[in-house]
Structure 1
Amino acid sequence: MTAPALSTRGVNKSFGQLQVARDISIAIPKGERYALIGPNGAGKTTLINLMTGMIKPDSGQILLGGEDVTALHPDERVKRGLVRTFQINTLFPNLSALEAVTLAICERTGDAGTWWKALPSYRENAEEAYTILKSLRLGDHAYRTTRELAYGQQRLLEIALALATRPQVLLLDEPAAGVPPEESSELFSVIADLSQDITVLFIEHDMNVVFRFASRIIVMVGGAILLEGTPKEISTDPRVREVYLGGAHHA
């Protein structure tokens, strides 16, 4: 039996008297698109931080492809294929999209230490970077600086930087945050078209987007998993409608 791409077993985390993760056990199969939803304070970003090693659990395990990575530092998890984006982008405004992604690839290949060489010296890396940008519909904007890109395009560039690490699992923390509604659908259609070799877990507030693009949905409330199911199961579950869909539309 194939191991899940990413899983947690009995993960707990408290900050003083505040328990932010309570016995969290999930398993995400390879190639799936999972959404993580829940009201404010549900613990969604905390769970992402636990998975990526930004914070350590008090107990429980984080497994990547069946391998226990609980004790690994965040950078070591990235090298093993577990990569994330953040709610607020952290891009270099004066680099072109192509330069930024090429630099990320150079970091992966170990060429980043020879930064004094001109970009043409890294032709293979630059070609890979352009291929990534093209796959995210940013090929026509490869030579534009980050500051010139529309915000939705900047969010896609952040995903391009994540793809430069060749992830097995991609965690997207509110990828459409701050993106105008007319750009949000395009952003998620690009995410949906990512290689099936990449497993995706994303946090998102827009339920129309969630129900359209997620194969399964995990609902969190109060630091615990309320339930997991298909979009249809989640949309019709009275517990979800009570704690989230019917009340707080902004997680």
Structure 2
Amino acid sequence: MHDTKSKTPIWQAIAQALREDLAEGRYSPGDKLPTEAALAERFGVNRHTVRHGVSALVDEGLIRTRRGAGAFVASIPTDYPIGRKVRFHDNLIAAGRLPEKRVLLVEDRYATDGEALALAIQSGDPVCSYNGLSLADGQPIAVFESLFPLERTPEITDSFRHQSSVTDALAASGVKDYTRASTRLTAVRSNATQALHLQISEGDPLLRSSGVNIDDAGNPVEYGRTWFVGDRVTLTLEN
């Protein structure tokens, strides 16, 4: 008996192999990719199949093409370190990228059981929910939701109505410094809303990071969940 279930289309496998090449630093921004003929020989397929795979990366903004010149690397995954201090702006600047945050929603609501446990508060206690979109060089790389216990950060909701920096908003509530206490990484699939913001297809893979930040006294001041586009960001763990 032969397995008649559908396999991954060859062009998708080619696109993924090229994404991995970019993630591993095989090509740098501006580098020209091998010709269609060379890629066809590498993968053992015809040029049409190669062209289909390359087109997927063009749609994602990773590769650009010039008529008569070939395909070139437009961008490579952004290195994003996760350690004791996670700072979005500083991380992207260090990676040579231009950081940008767009506020999607800021609201006060009540903490769920799981959120309350992470923040060491009671279920139903008020929290500020800050939802946003993170970009690098104008390309969406992640959507996020950060929760802040209002009893410990009373000024934070108003702060987010005027600017997007978590560090500045916490400082306005008296939290001068904060560090990462825990991080959990999980592979998930994008839902329709996430796909819309991130300019990907619904069901595409995401890497979800869940983390708790604490103040100098060890009190949780932020519980954050971030959904990164898997092939646009390389998460690195630091001590």
The alignment's TM-score, normalised by the length of structure 1, stands at 0.25
More helix by percentage: 1
More strand by percentage: 2
Q: Higher Cα Rg: structure 1 or 2?
A: 2
The one of the two structures with greater contact order (alpha-carbon pairs below 8 A, sep at least 6) is 1
